[in-house]
Chains A and B, each alone.
Chain A
Amino acid sequence: MSAPRHAPGTALVLVGTTKGGFILSSDESREHWTLDGPHFPGEAVYAVAYDERGGRTRTLMAAQSNHWGTTIRISDDHGATWSGHDRQAIRFPESSGLSLAQIWQITPGYADEPDVVWCGVEPAALFKSMDAGESWTPVEGLLHHEHRPRWMPGGGGLCLHTIVRDPANRDRMGIAISTAGFYRTDDGGATWQARNAGVRAVFLPNQYPEFGQCVHKVVSHTARPERLFLQNHWGLYRSDDWGDSWRDIANGVPSDFGFAMQMHPHDPDTVYIVPIQSDAFRVVAESKLRVYRTRNAGASWEPLTEGLPQQDAYENVLRDALTADTHSPAGIYFGTRGGKVFASASAGESWREIADALPSVCCVKSAVVGAGCA
């Protein structure tokens, strides 16, 4: 294992793009950033993660070659060298008839289970690794779900893009699939129930089906695991009962269409989103690049604009391209389809561009070295 390259306290911003992965780093001030990359040039990186459990400093990137398929790559020295799999370790069983198209989400497990990692993929399935990402097996209860034949792919494919856990109940987990909706297990993945009551599907004749919603992102805070926030394909929602019911919280946003959603790392009432004009015109609402923040769990939202272009902005921010670090005040980061990365070292009060000409940004994750995963 090579030595890590960054000192404790370093803020890392991992950026996946359509043409490779990048790693931005800064000291705690988060004023001056260094760009490292591209890693896996020419390959699309739709999922990244940083994992410090078990004494590791492990970066994971899912690199998709247009020709040769998708592989998770691993670095234990902040991208100086990459090891990992010559074999393509995430594989559907032959009996499923499915083939891996894309990896959409990599989520490390709990701190006291340092070798557990979860992965959401397309076609929609959840994989689990018990050896820190070296080998993977599908979660059978979801793979064989009775709803699967009726799940429909969204614009990005039939992808499982979101994994939500419950530290108060290890057997409980939520996942979101476009276009199938939000599902929850209460028995460690053996069975899964659709939990979409109150979430609208504007594109279906029955707008409140049991499943079939196009959920774009779900977030929660470890301090309030029963409370979920959901950015839908039209609609902003909150659940106070782990998805049993949802209610609209689009109070004062210019559009309730959007993709990205991020929890504040230290405040369970604070959530960030980026409103998008519409499904037909997927650019920021009113051509102003604004992050909206609620600090009262969705009762009201405020625009965060300082340092962001407020006219002629035609950017989009994808579902995993908005993130936070664990410093205080929290760093908030997002990347755009236009290849820009913006950072706030003040929990969103002001912003600055820290990368301006990257390939189209697919995902952004952040971490603080020595502090665990954001």
Chain B
Amino acid sequence: MMIISPLVLISLVSLLIIAVMVLLSRNLLFSSMVFGIFSLFCAFFYIASLAVDVAITEIAIGAGASSVLMFLTLLKVGIKEKVAPKLSKQERRKKYITLAFLIIMGVFICISLLDMPPFMDPTNPSNLHIADRYIKETPTYYQIPNIVTAVLGSYRGYDTMGETTVILIAAIGVFTLLRNEKGKKEAIISKDLTNNAILLRGAQILIPVIMLFASYILFHGDLSPGGGFQAGVIFANAYILFALIFGLEKTTKYISFFALQIMLAAGVLIYIGTGFITFLIGGSFLEYNVLAHHAFEGQHYGLFLIELGVFFTVFSGIALIIVIMMEYLNRYNKNVW
């Protein structure tokens, strides 16, 4: 019998309570705020499971960027949830059939949970399959202290390339849906919160610290938890904070839409380019050993390059999505931001 740590238990129970709160609430603003808290407790859970990388990402994306995204969406759609229209008898019967089906499925899922291996047990089949090999091989073959980075970059470089491309595609999707070159000039001129001295000073102190932390996570990624993805997300949060407080005009003066687009594509290019360079030197695709005279050094160079690529794509992707949303709102809601 294994012991579940109290932090895990507390976070899991809170997650359940928060999920019920979100379901029961009819106020969308409340729901989206509570979703941020949900992400916070998710991060507690990840930290208790010793997955600090995932916790950093969850905090930065779930509690930071996606909350801002939800609030911006609420500015467009309104806070109140629409009341469902009265259903006819036939529709109601259909709904009851669906409900019964869902309950039966839920019971089956609960039954199948009994066959699952114990929670957070190191002797689970999933932990015995290949994780053992990662833990044994990484210090001798790659000499990278942080095994997670080695798994992401060295063992599963193709997967990470795919993930980076997914972010590129998501940002391109938002870009093509919401961006409109017409009326660009009016949309950029917007309000800001810089007349509030306390917010201004707080942002002036916090934003450089957040950026410094992001670069630390990027450059220290193969030694301590973190890497390109986490660094990009944190840097994007600094950018979003700047955009929320100083307004869209100043933000796009420092890092413009065009620069964000270039970075978005350049990140994926750096990643795939690293693969092609190793290809040209004589290794296989994304085999970093050939990048330097010594295989370990080559691993470090290659990992740094691909993490730089991931950083650029993730940062500019998330920043671009938020900034385009803000510009869209400015265009249709008459300068809310």
- Please determine whether chains A and B interact with each other in the same assembly: no
